[in-house]
Chain A
Protein backbone atom coordinates (compact mmCIF):
# COMPACT_ATOMS: atom_id res chain seq x y z
CA UNK A 1 0.00 0.00 0.00
CA UNK A 2 1.46 3.36 -1.00
CA UNK A 3 1.93 5.87 1.79
CA UNK A 4 1.11 9.55 1.98
CA UNK A 5 2.96 11.47 -0.70
CA UNK A 6 4.07 15.08 -0.37
CA UNK A 7 5.91 17.48 -2.62
CA UNK A 8 8.16 19.30 -2.74
CA UNK A 9 10.37 17.91 0.01
CA UNK A 10 12.27 21.17 0.44
CA UNK A 11 11.51 24.78 -0.42
CA UNK A 12 13.42 27.97 0.18
CA UNK A 13 11.70 31.32 -0.46
CA UNK A 14 12.07 34.97 0.41
CA UNK A 15 9.65 36.56 2.85
CA UNK A 16 6.52 37.97 1.22
CA UNK A 17 6.69 35.37 -1.54
CA UNK A 18 4.03 32.70 -1.96
CA UNK A 19 4.45 28.94 -1.79
CA UNK A 20 2.26 25.87 -2.24
CA UNK A 21 2.54 22.34 -0.94
CA UNK A 22 0.84 19.27 -2.32
CA UNK A 23 -0.37 16.12 -0.57
CA UNK A 24 -1.76 12.85 -1.89
CA UNK A 25 -3.24 10.73 0.91
CA UNK A 26 -3.45 6.96 1.17
CA UNK A 27 -6.07 5.67 -1.23
CA UNK A 28 -9.50 5.50 0.35
CA UNK A 29 -8.67 7.68 3.34
CA UNK A 30 -11.47 10.17 3.83
CA UNK A 31 -9.77 12.33 6.44
CA UNK A 32 -6.77 14.51 5.63
CA UNK A 33 -4.76 16.73 7.97
CA UNK A 34 -2.14 19.42 7.57
CA UNK A 35 0.26 20.01 10.45
CA UNK A 36 2.96 22.61 11.05
CA UNK A 37 6.04 21.40 12.91
CA UNK A 38 8.36 24.16 14.06
CA UNK A 39 11.88 23.11 15.02
CA UNK A 40 11.93 21.76 18.59
CA UNK A 41 8.16 21.42 18.84
CA UNK A 42 5.56 18.77 18.19
CA UNK A 43 3.29 18.98 15.16
CA UNK A 44 0.42 21.43 15.43
CA UNK A 45 -2.79 20.85 13.50
CA UNK A 46 -3.57 23.53 10.93
CA UNK A 47 -6.59 22.11 9.16
CA UNK A 48 -8.61 18.90 8.96
CA UNK A 49 -10.67 17.77 5.97
CA UNK A 50 -13.33 15.10 5.83
CA UNK A 51 -13.66 14.20 2.16
CA UNK A 52 -13.63 17.66 0.52
CA UNK A 53 -15.18 19.53 3.45
CA UNK A 54 -13.36 21.39 6.23
CA UNK A 55 -13.89 19.90 9.69
CA UNK A 56 -11.64 22.24 11.63
CA UNK A 57 -9.47 25.15 10.55
CA UNK A 58 -9.46 27.02 13.85
CA UNK A 59 -5.64 27.11 14.02
CA UNK A 60 -5.07 28.08 10.41
CA UNK A 61 -3.82 31.69 10.01
CA UNK A 62 -6.43 32.53 7.44
CA UNK A 63 -4.98 35.91 6.55
CA UNK A 64 -2.10 34.16 4.83
CA UNK A 65 -2.76 30.41 4.76
CA UNK A 66 -5.31 28.63 2.62
CA UNK A 67 -6.00 24.99 1.87
CA UNK A 68 -8.26 23.03 -0.39
CA UNK A 69 -9.06 19.43 -1.09
CA UNK A 70 -10.65 19.12 -4.46
CA UNK A 71 -12.67 15.97 -5.19
CA UNK A 72 -11.88 14.67 -1.71
CA UNK A 73 -8.48 13.28 -2.65
CA UNK A 74 -5.39 15.48 -3.16
CA UNK A 75 -4.90 18.60 -1.11
CA UNK A 76 -2.92 21.82 -1.50
CA UNK A 77 -1.75 24.13 1.27
CA UNK A 78 -0.76 27.66 0.28
CA UNK A 79 0.99 30.48 2.10
CA UNK A 80 0.76 34.00 0.71
CA UNK A 81 2.65 36.07 1.70
CA UNK A 82 5.16 34.07 3.71
CA UNK A 83 6.74 35.37 6.91
CA UNK A 84 9.98 34.36 8.59
CA UNK A 85 8.05 32.56 11.33
CA UNK A 86 6.48 30.24 8.74
CA UNK A 87 9.77 28.37 8.50
CA UNK A 88 8.82 24.84 9.55
CA UNK A 89 8.11 21.35 8.30
CA UNK A 90 4.61 20.96 6.91
CA UNK A 91 3.26 17.48 7.42
CA UNK A 92 0.28 15.90 5.73
CA UNK A 93 -1.49 12.93 7.29
CA UNK A 94 -4.51 10.83 6.41
CA UNK A 95 -6.75 8.37 8.18
CA UNK A 96 -9.65 6.13 7.35
CA UNK A 97 -11.50 6.79 10.60
CA UNK A 98 -11.50 6.02 14.33
CA UNK A 99 -9.68 5.13 16.46
CA UNK A 100 -7.69 7.68 14.68
CA UNK A 101 -4.53 6.10 13.34
CA UNK A 102 -3.03 8.85 11.25
CA UNK A 103 -0.42 8.03 8.65
CA UNK A 104 2.06 10.78 7.93
CA UNK A 105 3.88 11.81 4.80
CA UNK A 106 7.59 12.74 4.77
CA UNK A 107 6.83 16.44 5.06
CA UNK A 108 7.92 19.59 3.25
CA UNK A 109 10.66 21.61 4.90
CA UNK A 110 10.07 25.33 4.26
CA UNK A 111 12.75 27.91 4.87
CA UNK A 112 11.73 31.56 4.65
CA UNK A 113 14.65 33.99 4.29
Chain B
Protein backbone atom coordinates (compact mmCIF):
# COMPACT_ATOMS: atom_id res chain seq x y z
CA UNK B 1 0.00 0.00 0.00
CA UNK B 2 1.15 3.48 -0.77
CA UNK B 3 1.82 5.96 2.01
CA UNK B 4 3.19 9.45 2.47
CA UNK B 5 5.08 10.91 5.42
CA UNK B 6 5.46 14.65 5.85
CA UNK B 7 8.14 15.53 8.38
CA UNK B 8 7.09 18.41 10.59
CA UNK B 9 3.46 19.31 11.11
CA UNK B 10 4.48 22.98 11.49
CA UNK B 11 7.31 24.89 9.80
CA UNK B 12 8.13 28.52 10.52
CA UNK B 13 10.38 30.67 8.33
CA UNK B 14 11.15 34.35 8.05
CA UNK B 15 10.01 36.30 5.04
CA UNK B 16 12.72 36.02 2.36
CA UNK B 17 14.16 32.81 3.78
CA UNK B 18 14.30 29.41 2.10
CA UNK B 19 11.21 27.23 2.39
CA UNK B 20 11.80 23.47 2.68
CA UNK B 21 8.88 21.11 3.27
CA UNK B 22 9.76 17.44 3.48
CA UNK B 23 7.89 14.52 1.96
CA UNK B 24 8.81 10.84 1.84
CA UNK B 25 6.71 8.21 0.14
CA UNK B 26 6.44 4.48 -0.05
CA UNK B 27 5.11 2.88 -3.17
CA UNK B 28 5.36 -0.54 -4.74
CA UNK B 29 5.21 0.95 -8.23
CA UNK B 30 6.79 4.02 -9.78
CA UNK B 31 4.80 6.80 -8.23
CA UNK B 32 3.13 9.94 -9.39
CA UNK B 33 3.71 12.64 -6.80
CA UNK B 34 1.90 15.86 -6.07
CA UNK B 35 2.05 18.89 -3.83
CA UNK B 36 -1.17 20.71 -3.01
CA UNK B 37 -1.66 23.91 -1.02
CA UNK B 38 -4.71 24.71 1.09
CA UNK B 39 -5.49 28.22 2.25
CA UNK B 40 -7.89 28.70 5.17
CA UNK B 41 -11.47 27.76 4.33
CA UNK B 42 -10.56 26.83 0.78
CA UNK B 43 -10.11 23.62 -1.18
CA UNK B 44 -6.81 22.17 -2.28
CA UNK B 45 -4.92 23.79 -5.15
CA UNK B 46 -2.32 21.91 -7.17
CA UNK B 47 1.17 23.37 -6.83
CA UNK B 48 3.06 20.87 -8.94
CA UNK B 49 3.19 17.22 -9.97
CA UNK B 50 5.82 14.65 -10.90
CA UNK B 51 4.80 12.16 -13.59
CA UNK B 52 8.12 10.43 -14.45
CA UNK B 53 9.44 13.14 -16.74
CA UNK B 54 12.08 15.55 -15.39
CA UNK B 55 13.02 14.87 -11.78
CA UNK B 56 13.05 18.58 -10.95
CA UNK B 57 9.53 19.89 -11.22
CA UNK B 58 8.62 23.55 -11.25
CA UNK B 59 5.25 24.67 -10.05
CA UNK B 60 3.25 27.78 -9.45
CA UNK B 61 4.18 30.66 -7.15
CA UNK B 62 7.92 29.93 -7.41
CA UNK B 63 7.78 26.48 -5.81
CA UNK B 64 9.69 23.47 -7.07
CA UNK B 65 10.27 19.90 -5.97
CA UNK B 66 12.85 17.26 -6.76
CA UNK B 67 12.04 13.57 -7.11
CA UNK B 68 14.80 11.43 -5.59
CA UNK B 69 14.09 7.77 -6.10
CA UNK B 70 17.07 6.60 -4.01
CA UNK B 71 15.78 8.57 -1.04
CA UNK B 72 12.06 8.03 -1.82
CA UNK B 73 11.65 11.76 -1.31
CA UNK B 74 9.84 14.62 -3.00
CA UNK B 75 10.69 17.70 -0.95
CA UNK B 76 9.13 21.07 -1.78
CA UNK B 77 11.28 24.19 -1.87
CA UNK B 78 11.03 27.90 -2.56
CA UNK B 79 14.10 30.15 -2.48
CA UNK B 80 12.43 33.11 -0.82
CA UNK B 81 9.31 32.93 1.33
CA UNK B 82 6.55 35.47 0.99
CA UNK B 83 3.86 36.26 3.51
CA UNK B 84 1.26 34.97 1.07
CA UNK B 85 2.86 31.50 1.20
CA UNK B 86 1.44 30.94 4.67
CA UNK B 87 -0.90 27.96 4.25
CA UNK B 88 -1.08 24.20 4.73
CA UNK B 89 0.79 22.03 2.25
CA UNK B 90 -0.03 18.43 1.41
CA UNK B 91 2.11 15.89 -0.37
CA UNK B 92 0.26 13.09 -2.18
CA UNK B 93 1.11 9.94 -4.12
CA UNK B 94 -0.73 7.86 -6.70
CA UNK B 95 0.17 4.82 -8.74
CA UNK B 96 0.17 4.26 -12.45
CA UNK B 97 -2.21 6.33 -14.53
CA UNK B 98 -4.95 3.76 -14.27
CA UNK B 99 -4.85 3.98 -10.52
CA UNK B 100 -6.32 7.39 -10.05
CA UNK B 101 -6.54 7.52 -6.29
CA UNK B 102 -4.44 9.90 -4.27
CA UNK B 103 -3.02 9.10 -0.84
CA UNK B 104 -2.24 12.24 1.13
CA UNK B 105 0.20 13.01 3.87
CA UNK B 106 -0.97 14.64 7.09
CA UNK B 107 0.04 18.10 5.93
CA UNK B 108 2.54 20.76 7.00
CA UNK B 109 1.42 24.20 8.14
CA UNK B 110 3.81 26.87 6.92
CA UNK B 111 4.08 30.05 8.93
CA UNK B 112 5.93 33.04 7.48
CA UNK B 113 7.23 35.62 9.94
CA UNK B 114 7.76 39.24 8.98
- Chain A positions near chain B (C-beta within 8 angstroms): 4, 6, 31, 33, 40-45, 48, 55-56, 91, 93, 95, 97-107, 109
Q: Given the complex, which residues of A lie within 8 Å of B56, measured CB to CB?
A: none
Whether A45 contacts B101 by the Cβ 8 Å rule is: yes
Query: Which of A42, A103, A109 is the one whose CB lies under 8 Å from B104?
Result: A42
Whether B106 contacts A41 by the Cβ 8 Å rule is: yes
Most buried by B among A33, A56, A104: A104
Query: Which of B46, B51, B104 is the one whose CB lies under 8 Å from A44?
Result: B104
Q: Is B24 located at the chain interface by the 8 A CB criterion? A: no
Whether B43 contacts A107 by the Cβ 8 Å rule is: yes
Whether A40 contacts B102 by the Cβ 8 Å rule is: no
Determine how close the nearest CB of chain B comes to the CB of A89; give it in whole angstroms: 9
Query: Which of B45, B102, B107 is the one whose CB lies under 8 Å from A41?
Result: B107
Whether B44 contacts A104 by the Cβ 8 Å rule is: yes
The interface bits of chain B over 2-29 (1 if a CB of A lies within 8 angstroms of the residue's CB, else 0) are 0010000100000000000000000000
Q: Given the complex, which residues of B lie within 8 Å of A43, measured CB to CB?
A: 44, 90, 102, 104
In the complex the two chains form, what is the Cα distance from A98 to B101 in whole Å?
Answer: 10
In the complex the two chains form, what is the Cα distance from A81 to B113 in whole Å?
Answer: 44
Closest to B51 in A: A99
Determine how close the nearest CB of chain B comes to the CB of A57; give it in whole angstroms: 12
In the complex the two chains form, what is the Cα distance from A93 to B100 in whole Å?
Answer: 12
Whether B107 contacts A91 by the Cβ 8 Å rule is: no
Closest to B97 in A: A98
Whether B90 contacts A48 by the Cβ 8 Å rule is: no
Q: Given the complex, which residues of A lie within 8 Å of B90, measured CB to CB?
A: 42-43
Q: Is B98 located at the chain interface by the 8 A CB criterion? A: yes
Q: Given the complex, which residues of B lie within 8 Å of A44, measured CB to CB?
A: 104
Whether A45 contacts B102 by the Cβ 8 Å rule is: yes
